[in-house]
Amino acid sequence: MFDRFSRSWELAKASAAVLRSDKELMLFPVISGLMTLVVLATFLLPVWALRVFSDGFNLFGAIVVFAFYFCQYAVILFCNCALVGAAMIRLDGGDPTLADGFNAAKARLPAILGYAAIAATVGLLLKRMKDDDNFLVRILGSGLGAAWTLATFLVVPVLVSQNVGPVDALKQSASLLKRTWGENAIGNVGIGMVFGFISLGIVLVGGLLAYLAAQVSLLLAIAVGVVFVIALLLLGVYQAALSGIYSAALYRYATQGEAPPAFRGMQLEHAFQPK
């Protein structure tokens, strides 16, 4: 387990180094965030105006929610595929552009839409379980959600790298989990925990400074709050980009058993030997 933790940490550091060398990769999460806000507004305003849920959760409401999930997943997956596609080029020593990433995603659009439908279905079911009145059902939903996150972590690099459909991509990702479960789990949890602690620190410091600023001026307190909100958003963008690069690197190791050029010299060449 220590070896897995060590490799995961080295992979994360190497991914961060790749991101520092190509900050343009952070534009993909920014575009993804903006597009998801557009999708949210597109659904939220008509749902509010038509009072879709005024009589409770009905069949039409379920269809609307599924359509929203599908569009959100499609946008996020498309941008993630663009990010990973560009990261793959960078890992091979190239210098990708935004167009390179989006072209890689467009080439796999049918598979992306197919997987978005699967993810929307699973996401809707998991949400219903987590919102259930039964405590055991909620616990089961949380556990299944965590398992789904791990099993599908490599779906995006599989979609980008292989000419397979959404179901086969899901199977491939689940199969690769058997070989990379330690690095997958540690990487997911580790990156999330690190950024979670940093976010908590920003919130605490921001709240304290905003409180102190409020003693001087309300406008100053608002300005301080805005600065720290922007800092949180930027941190989220960095985390999303880092996670995308990490998944691309993890996929390369899992399938090729050798270090990409960007990771050479880190003594990770034997991290994933084919079984």
Sketch the domain layout of the chain as residue ranges.
2-263
Name the residue with tokens 């197919």.
114
The helix/strand/coil state of 210 is: helix
Q: What is the mean pLDDT of residues 237-266?
A: 77
**How high does pLDDT run on average in the chain?**
83
CB 11 within 8 A of CB 153: no
Instruction: Report whether pLDDT(63) > 70.
Output: yes
Position with higher pLDDT, 156 vs 246: 156
CB 262 within 8 A of CB 94: no
Instruction: Report whether pLDDT(76) > 70.
Output: yes
**Is 219 exposed, middle or buried (CB count within 10 Å of its CB: 0-12, 13-18, 19+)?**
exposed
pLDDT at 44: 84
Q: How far apart are CA 18 and CA 12, in angstroms?
A: 10
In tens, the pLDDT along 19-40 reads 888 888 999 999 999 999 999 8
